[in-house]
């Protein structure tokens, strides 16, 4: 155990042992380890499998740019999380982790069968395959593709953790705590400016944690780091945030920060949030994010044990772990030599340093020789071997003309590679900052900025320690000055620094035919150099198109290690400079961020409150099944013992049609419109005429948008000359009120009208059925319920069961119906009184599903189900609801547009299937000719479809092009099992003469 641990090195606590599991096996680490460093200390390199070919994968990096080492983490019930980067996952006692994307085991993965057939899975293969035979799609291709999708397994139960949010303002926000970031924060903090310093790591230091050799202002690097961190902590105007990632940089210096609070704890504090999302508005921003090391592209560069040289240095100097006992190095940059030197001094036997460059700084070669390291300058790597971990590499000399010479094999247990470094410009690019291409250095650098920001350090191309410190100090002082404070940049002197240089290679020379080489660019998605060249041959020239065709840079790391190599290879393939090929767009978040962090406190009831009516408790006590409707919890149906939904709904419908049904309609939106101009206001808002509606009468109201399409509807009662009781759809209450307020305040401020939402003031009990009047008559006071005195579409105020009521005679079922409005506090009492009195009539409570069936039988529409935002009154057979003599109303002008008058517009009609037992799927498309070639021309779709117990058959409503003129014709509805036929009929299936309604 821990055979690769180096005592006396690193920043881990060697005296605090930590035990954790990986794939069921218990391992030992040190406090301060990440999962990656702890596994490497135990000699474990195999961590997962790639997405497409299921090739073995090891650790590539030591930071958040990691594309390979994704694991599943299980912290308990509901606390499982897939695709967690092992390189940033801090271990703790009891941590349980598993590898992903394999079956039946990590070492023996059946999915690896894809690898030998890689020629079948070339770039864009999914656009070219699975086409034939067509019958295979549903039964074979689609299930196979869905089964292969993804890497880890998402949790299936609700997340029990809590998440927090916070808003903050500061004068200077510094992102990154490497040398440049620390210097910037220190100078800004000294000025008195309010400073926030953030870093994604558990401690500040950045590159200093991996390269502690130099001295800063006479102090060893780590001593200077300790001193500077303490100075910042002592400043009351400075906020220090570790384990905090700047995930997005938005306009007007708005920056999102995700702070991880408890993921590193074995026992999180009760009630403590797991993460906190900071929303920071800064007057000035300093971006000091550092840089990302580039892999080299060569055949077999993806085996476990092959990693970035800078990462190997990090594992050694920060975590006290040798990544191998006999590592080799392949590089085109000086920095990889330093990693080799550090490992050699820690006891590793360096197999060789292979440098692509023929000329390397002499001091590096001399130091390598002094340490007994073989150097091969002007050589290349042309291949590797090793099934689950690299065991050797094949190297070849490269002549001046690029020809590859004879090969030799070098045994090794790790291979450290470096193609140089590229500035991390992601956040700078989030705000559309301009990137300038530096041809000599082969990298993009921050250019013209769009925000009040500065870039400093390696993120701005300053890779030297001293120049990074100086630029950071200048950036911090400049930011503080621009924020209105007096600041000046301090001076820094660095001793013992090794300035590194290097070149960038598109793809290493090879002795292998390019069509057979597996030189990986995107390690997670298995994108190779030849995939990118194939995309170019197939006509793709823009890097954005190449990215999507090959999936380069579309993995969970978003191309942090692959984008630049992919761009270089594409540039070479199209024979154009890199800037003309373009750079992929960097988008937030910078690293994967949990949904919980974005949601914060806005989860469950705090995000979407469940509204309940005054009668809801009675429904729950009587076994109601529920469904969500807008924010309301509504009784869906009331099953009796042994009944399923269909049986319960059929019973409820029959009881309502034959005797008496009772329904909780309290969720309908209700708006009180009062004022001397109330009638005029109604006349302008709704399509119908309202000025002549007599008090005591109801009218169906239709509300349009300015585009002439139906927005809402409802029954509206005129209580007096200056008062209307308006009802809306359940989901439209707030929207309609806002629309009314908007017009009243911006278009007609001269009208004397007051609007009041009364949705929750009233409980509404709908009574429907032949016995509805018989039930009400002995219970109502002050209202004559006879048909002559109180006809359909009447409203009156009186008392019921001794409680004040607004009684509507209205029906949404087509039966004799009443809606009893009582103050909400009396809702349940009145409901129980009505239910008890109705027992002699067999009163039956019914839910929303029966309500849907009953209204469809009568041809009544539901806005939002039978309409979709493009339906006009005429389309819905509601032209009768338009006031013909009204000078104007909202949406009137749009009704005369040519497109609104076309005869072939989709119109609502009824459908009767040829097989009475077939219930069509809602949303199913309609065609006239089922034998037409694909793609078929669709002429409409089913909007509502039910089994009608009243008729003993299925019914449906649908929108069909020119539907009313096609009544009697047959249409076809393709469904997964087979194509069904149906006849177009009128919308009213039950009681077209309205005899029941007017009884």
Q: Angle between the 335-345 and 309-317 helix axes, to the nearest 10 degrees?
A: 40
> Which pLDDT does position 1 carry in this prediction?
55
401 phi and psi, to 5 degrees? -85, 0
pLDDT-derived band at 926, boundaries 50, 70, 90? very high
What's the mean pLDDT in 113-119?
70
Coil, helix or strand at residue 393:
strand
Within 10 A of 500 (CB to CB), how many other CB atoms are there? 18
What's the mean pLDDT in 334-360?
96
pLDDT-derived band at 736, boundaries 50, 70, 90? very high
- Characterize the bridge pairing of strands 414-418 and 327-331: parallel
> Which pLDDT does position 498 carry in this prediction?
85
Residue 976 · residue 945 · CB < 8 Å: no
Residues of the chain with CATH 2.40.30.110: 859-985
Within 10 A of 484 (CB to CB), how many other CB atoms are there? 12
Secondary element (H or E) of residue 743: helix 733-746
Q: Which fold has domain 859-985?
A: Elongation Factor Tu (Ef-tu); domain 3 (2.40.30)
The token pair that represents 153 in the structure block: 């397994």
What's the mean pLDDT in 152-172?
92
Secondary element (H or E) of residue 421: strand 421-423
Residues of the chain with CATH 3.10.20.440: 1-125
The dihedral sign for the CA sequence 872, 877, 881, 884: positive
> Which pLDDT does position 808 carry in this prediction?
98
Within 10 A of 975 (CB to CB), how many other CB atoms are there? 13
Q: Is the pLDDT of residue 751 over 70?
A: yes
> Which pLDDT does position 164 carry in this prediction?
95
Q: Indicate left, alpha or beta for 844 from its phi (over 0: left) and psi (-120 to 50: alpha).
A: beta
CA distance 572 to 505: 11
Whose CA is closest to 221, among 499, 462, 500, 494? 494
CA distance 428 to 443: 15
Q: Is the pLDDT of residue 104 over 70?
A: yes
What average pLDDT is seen over the chain? 93
Residue 597 · residue 258 · CB < 8 Å: yes
> Which pLDDT does position 315 carry in this prediction?
98
Q: Is the pLDDT of residue 948 over 70?
A: yes
What's the mean pLDDT in 789-803?
97
CATH architecture, range 1-125: Roll (3.10)
b/e code 247-266 from CB counts within 10 Å (16+ = b): bbbeeebebbbbbbbbbeee
Distances from the Cα of 735 to the Cα of 583, 740, 892, angstroms = 43, 9, 20
Quick: pLDDT tens for 40-81: 999 999 999 998 888 999 999 999 999 999 999 998 888 889
Whose CA is closest to 475, among 181, 753, 695, 239? 181
> Which pLDDT does position 522 carry in this prediction?
93
The token pair that represents 699 in the structure block: 């009218």
Coil, helix or strand at residue 297:
coil
Lowest mean pLDDT among 15-24, 107-116, 410-419, 687-696: 107-116
Distances from the Cα of 969 to the Cα of 696, 824, 936, 948, 975, angstroms = 43, 49, 19, 22, 19
Q: Is the pLDDT of residue 166 over 60?
A: yes
CATH 3.40.190.10 fits 304-419, yes or no: no
> Which pLDDT does position 20 carry in this prediction?
97
Cis previous bond, 679, omega within 30: no
Secondary element (H or E) of residue 30: strand 25-31
pLDDT-derived band at 143, boundaries 50, 70, 90? confident
Side-chain half-sphere CA neighbours of 712 within 13 A: 24
What's the mean pLDDT in 936-946?
96
Q: Which fold has domain 663-854?
A: Gyrase A; domain 2 (3.30.1360)
Quick: pLDDT tens for 292-322: 999 999 999 999 999 999 999 999 999 999 9
> Which pLDDT does position 118 carry in this prediction?
65
pLDDT-derived band at 110, boundaries 50, 70, 90? confident
Task: Render 939-971 in DSSP notation, one character per residue.
Answer: -EEEEEEEEETTTTEEEEEEEEETGGGGTT-EE
Whose CA is closest to 874, among 912, 923, 909? 909
b/e code 167-189 from CB counts within 10 Å (16+ = b): ebebbbbbbbbbbbbbbbbbbbb
CA distance 800 to 808: 13
What's the mean pLDDT in 104-108?
92
Whose CA is closest to 93, among 27, 178, 185? 27
pLDDT-derived band at 608, boundaries 50, 70, 90? confident
- Residue given tokens 């761009």 in the structure block: 567
Tell me how many degrees the CA angle 895-899-905 measures, rounded to the nearest 5: 95
Coil, helix or strand at residue 262:
coil
CA distance 985 to 8: 87
> Which pLDDT does position 828 carry in this prediction?
98
Q: What is the 3-state secondary structure (H, E, C) of 173-211?
A: EEECCCHHHHHHHHHHHHCCCCEEEECCCCCCCHHHHCC
b/e code 267-292 from CB counts within 10 Å (16+ = b): ebeeeebbbbbbbbebbbbbbbbbbb
Beta strands in 721-841 (DSSP E): 723-728, 754-757, 762-768, 780-781, 794-800, 803-809, 817-823
Give me the count of residues in the chain. Answer: 999
Quick: pLDDT tens for 830-845: 999 999 999 999 999 9
Lowest mean pLDDT among 231-235, 824-828, 848-852, 884-888: 884-888
Q: Is the pLDDT of residue 5 over 90?
A: yes
Q: Angle between the 848-858 and 645-658 helix axes, to the nearest 10 degrees?
A: 60
Residues of the chain with CATH 3.30.1360.120: 663-854
Higher local confidence (pLDDT), 2 or 992:
992
Whose CA is closest to 393, among 294, 566, 510? 510
From first CA to last CA, the distance across the chain in angstroms is 88
Q: Is the pLDDT of residue 935 over 90?
A: no
Whose CA is closest to 409, among 422, 391, 429? 391
Residue 420 · residue 504 · CB < 8 Å: yes
Q: Indicate left, alpha or beta for 274 from its phi (over 0: left) and psi (-120 to 50: alpha).
A: alpha
CA distance 419 to 333: 6
Alpha-carbon torsion, ordered 577, 579, 583, 586, to 10 deg: 150
> Which pLDDT does position 606 carry in this prediction?
86
pLDDT-derived band at 553, boundaries 50, 70, 90? confident
Residues of the chain with CATH 3.50.50.60: 163-291+423-487, 304-419
Quick: pLDDT tens for 238-256: 999 999 999 999 999 999 9
> Which pLDDT does position 987 carry in this prediction?
96
Q: Is the pLDDT of residue 120 over 70?
A: no
CA distance 313 to 62: 9
Quick: pLDDT tens for 556-585: 888 899 999 988 888 888 888 888 887 888
pTM for the full model? Answer: 0.82
DSSP classification of residue 520: E
The token pair that represents 115 in the structure block: 């690898």
Task: Render 460-513 in DSSP notation, one character per residue.
Answer: GT--SHHHHHHHHHHHHHHHHHHTT----PPP--EES-----B---SS---SS-
Higher local confidence (pLDDT), 151 or 280:
280
Q: Is the pLDDT of residue 2 over 70?
A: no
Burial of 11 (0-12, 13-18, 19+ CB in 10 A): middle
CATH 3.50.50.60 fits 163-291+423-487, yes or no: yes
CA distance 489 to 180: 12
Beta strands in 262-387 (DSSP E): 275-287, 291-293, 306-308, 327-331, 353-355, 375-377, 379-385
Task: Compute CA 711 distance to the chain's CA centroid, rounded to the nearest angstrom.
Answer: 29
pLDDT-derived band at 440, boundaries 50, 70, 90? confident
């Amino acid at each position: 155990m821990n055979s690769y641990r180096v005592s006396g090195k690193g920043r881990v606590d060697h005296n605090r042992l930590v035990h954790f599991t990986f794939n069921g096996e218990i391992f030992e680490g040190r406090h301060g380890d990440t999962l990656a460093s702890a596994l490497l200390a135990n000699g474990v390199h195999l961590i997962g499998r790639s997405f497409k070919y299921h090739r073995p994968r090891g650790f590539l990096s030591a930071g958040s740019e990691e594309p390979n080492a994704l694991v599943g983490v299980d912290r308990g019930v509901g606390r499982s999380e897939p695709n967690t980067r092992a390189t940033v996952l801090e271990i703790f006692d009891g941590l349980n982790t598993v590898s992903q994307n394999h079956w039946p085991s990590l070492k023996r993965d059946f999915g690896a069968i894809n690898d030998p057939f890689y020629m079948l899975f070339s770039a864009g293969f999914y656009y070219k395959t699975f086409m034939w035979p067509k019958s295979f799609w549903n039964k074979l291709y689609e299930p196979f593709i869905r089964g292969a999708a993804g890497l880890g397994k998402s949790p299936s139960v609700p997340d029990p953790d809590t998440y927090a949010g916070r808003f903050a303002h500061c004068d200077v926000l510094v992102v990154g705590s490497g040398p440049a970031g620390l210097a910037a924060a220190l100078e800004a903090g000294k000025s008195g400016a309010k400073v926030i310093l953030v870093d994604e790591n558990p401690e500040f230091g950045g590159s200093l944690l991996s390269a502690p050799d130099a001295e800063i202002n006479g102090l060893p690097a780590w001593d200077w780091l300790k001193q500077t961190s303490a100075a910042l902590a002592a400043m009351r105007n400075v906020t220090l945030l570790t384990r905090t990632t700047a995930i997005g940089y938005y306009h007007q210096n708005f920056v999102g920060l995700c702070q991880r609070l408890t993921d590193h704890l074995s026992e999180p504090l009760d009630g403590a949030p797991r993460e906190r999302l900071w929303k920071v508005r800064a007057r000035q921003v300093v971006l000091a994010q550092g840089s990302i090391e580039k892999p080299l592209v060569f055949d077999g560069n993806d085996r476990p044990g092959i990693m970035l040289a800078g990462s190997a240095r990090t594992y050694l100097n920060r975590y006290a772990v040798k990544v191998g006992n006999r590592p080799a190095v392949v590089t085109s940059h000086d920095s990889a030599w330093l990693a080799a030197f550090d490992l050699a001094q820690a006891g590793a036997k360096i197999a060789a340093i292979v440098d692509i460059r023929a000329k390397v700084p002499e001091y590096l070669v001399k130091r390598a020789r002094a340490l007994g390291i073989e150097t091969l300058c002007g050589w290349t790597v042309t291949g590797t071997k090793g099934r689950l971990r690299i065991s050797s590499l094949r190297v070849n000399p490269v002549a001046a003309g690029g020809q590859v010479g004879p090969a030799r094999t070098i045994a090794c247990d790790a291979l450290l590679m470096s193609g140089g470094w590229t500035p991390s410009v992601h956040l700078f690019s989030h705000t559309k900052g301009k990137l300038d291409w530096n041809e000599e250095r082969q990298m993009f650098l921050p250019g013209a900025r769009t925000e009040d920001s500065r870039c400093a350090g390696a993120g701005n191309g300053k890779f030297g320690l001293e120049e990074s410190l100086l630029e950071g100090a200048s950036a911090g002082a400049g930011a503080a000055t621009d924020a209105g404070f007096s600041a000046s940049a301090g001076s820094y002197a660095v001793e013992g620094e090794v300035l590194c240089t290097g070149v960038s290679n598109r793809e290493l020379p090879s002795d292998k035919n390019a069509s057979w080489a597996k030189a990986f660019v995107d390690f997670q998605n298995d994108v190779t150099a030849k995939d990118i060249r194939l995309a170019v041959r197939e006509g793709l020239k823009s890097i954005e198109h190449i990215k999507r065709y090959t999936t380069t840079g579309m993995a969970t790391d978003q191309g942090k290690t692959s984008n630049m190599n992919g761009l270089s290879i594409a540039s070479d393939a199209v024979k154009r400079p890199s800037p003309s090929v373009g750079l992929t767009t960097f988008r937030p978040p910078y690293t994967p961020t949990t949904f919980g962090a974005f949601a914060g406190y806005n989860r469950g009831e705090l995000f979407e409150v469940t509204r309940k009516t005054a009668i809801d408790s009675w429904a729950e006590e009587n076994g109601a099944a529920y469904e969500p409707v807008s924010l309301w919890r509504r009784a869906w149906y009331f099953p009796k013992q042994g009944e399923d939904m269909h049986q319960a709904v059929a019973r409820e419908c029959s009881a309502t049609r034959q005797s008496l049904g009772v329904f909780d309609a309290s969720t309908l939106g209700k708006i009180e419109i009062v004022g001397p101009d109330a009638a005029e206001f109604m006349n302008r808002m709704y399509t119908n005429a309202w000025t002549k509606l007599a008090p005591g009468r109801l009218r169906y109201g239709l509300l349009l948008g300015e585009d002439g399409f139906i927005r809402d509807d409802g029954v509206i009662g005129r209580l007096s000359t200056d008062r209307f009781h308006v009802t809306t759809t359940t989901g439209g209450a707030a929207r309609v009120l806002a629309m009314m307020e908007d017009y009243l305040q911006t278009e007609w401020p001269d009208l004397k009208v007051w609007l009041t939402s009364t949705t929750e003031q009233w409980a509404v009990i709908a009574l429907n059925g032949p016995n509805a009047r018989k039930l009400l008559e002995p219970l109502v006071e002050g209202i004559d319920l006879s048909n002559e005195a109180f006809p359909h579409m009447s409203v009156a105020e009186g008392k019921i069961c001794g409680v004040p009521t607004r009684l509507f005679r209205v029906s949404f079922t087509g039966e004799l119906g009443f809606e009893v409005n009582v103050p909400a506090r009396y809702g349940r009492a009145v409901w129980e009184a009505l239910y008890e009195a109705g027992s002699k009539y067999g009163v039956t409570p019914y839910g929303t599903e029966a309500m849907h069936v009953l209204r469809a039988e009568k041809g009544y529409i539901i806005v939002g189900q039978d309409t979709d935002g493009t339906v006009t009154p005429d389309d819905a057979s509601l032209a009768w609801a338009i006031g013909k003599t009204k000078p104007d109303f909202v949406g009137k002008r749009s009704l005369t547009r040519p497109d609104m008058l076309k005869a072939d517009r989709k119109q609502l009609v009824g459908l009767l299937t040829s097989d009475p037992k077939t219930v069509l799927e809602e949303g199913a498309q309609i065609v006239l000719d089922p034998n037409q070639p694909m793609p078929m021309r669709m002429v409409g779709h089913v909007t509502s479809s039910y089994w009608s117990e009243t008729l003993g058959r299925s019914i449906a409503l649908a929108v069909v092009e020119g539907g009313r003129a096609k009544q009697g014709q047959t249409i076809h509805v393709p469904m997964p099992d087979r194509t069904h036929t149906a006849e177009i009929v009128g919308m009213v299936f039950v009681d077209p003469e309205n005899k029941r309604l007017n009884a």
